[in-house]
Structure 1
Amino acid sequence: MFRLIKDLIFAWQYKRAVKKAVKLSKLHGMKFYVIYLNGGLKVVPKKAVKELVARRRFRKGVTVQDIEKRALFVTH
């Protein structure tokens, strides 16, 4: 029962994050990712991810393509 509740909450949060990503993508004309980070779903623009990779905020060798592969949702 507890697992079902957790799954429902995650599904609700995921649906909300996807809506937000699509809305921001249409508004700004950029690609957005929905990624699972620090125990929660985050909506992040590709431009910010590029800057963080360039500043070495991720492990050595991690590329934008790696993050895009692991993203739960990617806007176009």
Structure 2
Amino acid sequence: MMDKIRRYIFAWRYRRAVRQAKNLAGLFGMKYYVISLNGKLRVVLKQTIRELIRRKRFRKGVTLDDIEKSALFVTN
């Protein structure tokens, strides 16, 4: 029962994050990613991810392509 509730909550948060990413991409014309960061779903701008990589927020050797492959959703 708890597993179903967790999946439902995750699906709700995922749909909400995707909707937010699409809206922001439509407004600003930039690429947004939905990624899991610190156990939460985050809508992050591509430029922000580049900055996080420069600041060593991700482990050594991680590139933008790696993050794009593991992202849950990527806007066009």
Displacement after TM superposition at 1:54 (Å): 2.0
Partners of 1:8 and 1:59 in 2: CA distance: 31
2:62 maps to a residue whose letter is V
Q: Which runs of 5+ in 2 are unaligned?
A: none
Percent identity over paired residues: 59
Partners of 1:52 and 1:37 in 2: CA distance: 11
TM-score normalised by length of structure 2: 0.95
TM-score normalised by length of structure 1: 0.95
Partners of 2:15 and 2:66 in 1: CA distance: 23
Displacement after TM superposition at 1:46 (Å): 0.3
Classify the secondary structure of the residue corresponding to 1:35.
Answer: strand
Note the aligned Cα RMSD (angstroms). Answer: 0.8
Q: Which runs of 5+ in 1 are unaligned?
A: none
